[in-house]
Amino acid sequence: KRAFYIGRFQPFHKGHYSVIKTIGKDIDELVIGVGSAQRSHETPNPFTAGERIMMIRHSLADTDIKHYAVPIDDIQQNAVWVSYVTARTPPFDIVYSNNPLILELFEEAGIETKQPPMYHREKYSGTLIREKMIAGEEWEQFVPESVTEVIEEIDGVRRLKHVSGSDQ
Ligand code: ATP
Ligand code: MG
């Protein structure tokens, strides 16, 4: 059984990691959609698709989950989004998501969906982590160690602080 899971992963954090570990128990392979792939260098989306793929690859290296990370650019047409995704990904039988729009679109297309349990959502949230990076607060505890390494390699915190600054 091959499953699909999608997020923006700005950055990939321990919530994502934990959900994927749980999903991994029920499936053979996981297709991970890296959403808003064309976006980077902006406050809500600081990291490139390639950088996010590195975060995922290194974080999942300590699991035995076989995965394919596939970048998915945004399209502004929800009605054809499922075909757009399936045209770019290895075939999958089931979609794991908590996003109501994603669930609705896949269900309408007749694809099985499941809602994975949330993992300390109040702590593990991309928005919160980016806010901490900008404020110069501790953020490392919310992401897998390999993600910290990738963000250090690309000087990601400096970039985020820079692009989130005002030009005034
Ligand atoms: P942002 O605040 O930037 O939207 P996010 O933490 O919501 O970041 P996304 O990349 O948007 O991360 O999330 C991808 C998917 O992972 C979403 O469907 C979201 O519901 C889920 N998710 C995010 N955080 C958690 C968590 N702590 N536990 C379980 N699922 C999570
Ligand atoms: Mg989100």
Please, which residues have CB within 8 angstroms of residue 101's CB and are 6 or more apart in sequence? 78
Residue 36 to residue 53: CA distance in whole angstroms: 13
Ligand 1 centroid from CA 116, angstroms:
11
CATH code at position 14: 3.40.50.620
pTM here is: 0.96
Does 98 reside within a domain? yes
Does 48 reside within a domain? yes
List the domain range (segments joined by +) for residue 88.
2-163
Q: State the complex-level ipTM.
A: 0.96
Instruction: Count up the domains in the chain and report the number.
Output: 1
Which residue from 16, 39, 95, 122 has its CB within 8 A of the most atoms of ligand 1, so it is best to mutate?
16
Does 73 reside within a domain? yes
Other CB atoms closer than 10 Å to residue 128's CB: what's the count? 16
* Nearest CA residue ID for atom 13, ligand 1: 7
Residue 61 has pLDDT above 70, yes or no: yes
Ligand 2 centroid from CA 58, angstroms:
21
Does 168 reside within a domain? no
Residue 168 has pLDDT above 70, yes or no: no
Does 44 reside within a domain? yes
Convert the pLDDT of each residue in 93-121 to its tens digit.
999 999 999 999 999 999 999 999 989 98
Average confidence (pLDDT) over 21-43: 97
Say which ligand is closest to the CA of 97.
Answer: 1
What average pLDDT does the chain have? 97
Give the residue carrying structure tokens 């650019």: 73
Does 116 reside within a domain? yes
pLDDT given for residue 167 in this prediction: 67
Residue 155 to residue 133: CA distance in whole angstroms: 12
pLDDT given for residue 79 in this prediction: 98
Residue 149 pLDDT grade (very low, low, confident, very high; cuts 50, 70, 90) = very high
Convert the pLDDT of each residue in 73-90 to its tens digit.
999 999 999 999 999 999
pLDDT given for residue 9 in this prediction: 98
